[in-house]
Amino acid sequence: MTTSTSLAPGQPVNTQQELRQRTLLGDAARRFARNKLALVGLFIVTALILTAIFADFIAPFPYDAADPVNALQFPSSEHWMGTDEVGRDVYSRIVYGTRISLAVGLGVMAIALIIGVPLGLLAGLAGGPVDYIIMRVVEVFTAIPALMLALLLISVFGGGLYNVILALGIVAWLDACRLLRAQLLSLRERDFVLAAQTVGASKVRIAIRHLLPNAVAPLIVAVTIGIPVAIFAEAGLSFLGLGVNDPIPSWGKMVGNSLSYMRVYWYLGVFPTLAIAFTMLGFTFFGDGLRDAFDVSTNS
């Protein structure tokens, strides 16, 4: 890493301070702050999180308050985004939908990590037959189309939000596992590992103190990039009517329902698709920004 803070000639170099200033996180934060698109992403993601937390205060109506008399109302001052086919306020449903999308994004990645990280560690560190078996399992799961696997699992578990998250998590762990393994394999060959070996560090110590910390940044990046993918998958499943059940507000399901009304009630399709698009863009910008800031390559 070349230093970017220039020192005036003759100025004494305070190594202690220098070390404290130039941490991995500090460097990453500085690079991140310089990236406009990443900041836009951070802004969108923060806004989404706040919306999800304070949905009760932001939404003017409950998400499940049906009012058949006022069904299919065009956007007005009372219902900013109109009402749906049973008279629920679309704006409120989109606000509450943030919760569902974020819960799915975070939940799926959490499950992916719970399964993927131990297996990736095992494959990358143990090598040999353990690695071979784990990689064949990964290969088998990759060969089954993701949508089909998710559907099969949802059919086995039954529907509902938690089972959708569980099923998508089981589909998503492959990337985390593959990435971690690839990282460990390449890190193992680096000079600092050789150096640690030379001074007599044990295998376990090398793994915990030297290999793992270096694999964390790529993993964080992979998780941030995986979140929009999971959100998209849930939206897709709910769009087909196979994800979360009524009256839980899922953007994907709102889009799916809008199809039958779209000739006249165009607003039913516009707002949830915009919500999905913005969320995807926000998380993608944020994830790409993190990737550039940590300077990791994600093509494994």
Partner 1 sequence: MARYLLGRFAGILIVFFIVSVVVFLLMHAIPGGPYNEDKVPLSPEAKANYMRKYGLDRPLVEQYVLYMGNALRGDFGVPFQSPTETVTGLIARTWPVSASLGFAALLVAIPLGLLLGIIAATRQNTWLDYAASATSTLGLTVPNFVVAVWLVLLFAVQLKWLPTGGWGEWYHYIMPVAALALAPMALTARYTRTSILEVSRSDFIRTARAKGLSGRQIMTRHTLRNALIPLITVLGPQIPNLITGTIFIESIFRVPGLGKFFVTSILGRDYPMIMALLLLVAVVWSVVYLITDILYTIVDPRVRLGKSKS
For binding to partner 1 (CB under 8 A), which residues are involved?
136, 139-140, 143-145, 147-148, 151-153, 155-156, 158, 228, 232, 235-236, 239-240, 242, 255, 258-259, 262-263, 266, 269-270, 273, 276-277, 280-281, 284
* CA separation for the pair 117, 122 (Å, rounded): 8
Burial of 17 from C-beta contacts in 10 A (0-12 / 13-18 / 19+) = exposed
Torsion-angle region of 116 (φ positive above 0: left; ψ -120 to 50: alpha; else: beta): alpha
The dihedrals phi and psi of 83, each to the nearest 5 degrees, come to: -125, 155
- Give the DSSP per-residue string, 88-109: -BHHHHHHHHHHHHHHHHHHHH
CB of 7 to partner 1, least distance (A): 30
Q: How far is the CB of 159 from partner 1 (least distance, A)?
A: 11
Nearest to 249, CA basis, from 25, 84, 7: 84
Which residue number, 71 or 262, has a Cβ lying nearer to partner 1? 262
Q: To the nearest whole angstrom, how small is the minimum distance from the Cβ of residue 221 to partner 1?
A: 16
Given the structure tokens 């849930």, which residue do they identify?
234
CA distance 184 to 177: 11
User: Which residue number, 32 or 285, has a Cβ lying nearer to partner 1?
Assistant: 285
Instruction: Extract the tokens encoding 132.
Output: 């071979």
CB of 30 to partner 1, least distance (A): 22
What's 283's DSSP letter? H
**Residue with smaller CB distance to partner 1, 53 or 152:** 152
Q: Whose Cβ is closer to partner 1: residue 61's or residue 108's?
A: 108
Question: Which residue is associated with the tokens 């941030």?
Answer: 224
**Count of alpha carbons within 13 angstroms of residue 16, beta-carbon side:** 0
Q: In terms of CB distance, is 25 or 240 closer to partner 1?
A: 240
Alpha-carbon distance of 295 to 29, in angstroms, equals 12
Alpha-carbon span 41 to 3, nearest angstrom? 28
Buried b vs exposed e over 204-227: b needs ≥16 C-beta within 10 Å? eebbeebbbebbebbbbbbbbbbb
Cα angle for residues 170, 254, 40 (degrees, 5° grid): 75
Looking at the Cβ atoms of 86 and 270, the one nearer to partner 1 is 270
Least gap, CB of 209 to partner 1 (angstroms): 26
Shortest reach from residue 149's CB to partner 1, in Å:
8
How near is the Cβ of 15 to partner 1 at its closest, in Å?
A: 36
Report the residue number, 196 or 300, with the smaller CB distance to partner 1: 300
Q: Least distance from C-beta 23 to partner 1, angstroms?
A: 29
Between residues 61 and 233, which has the closer beta carbon with respect to partner 1? Answer: 233
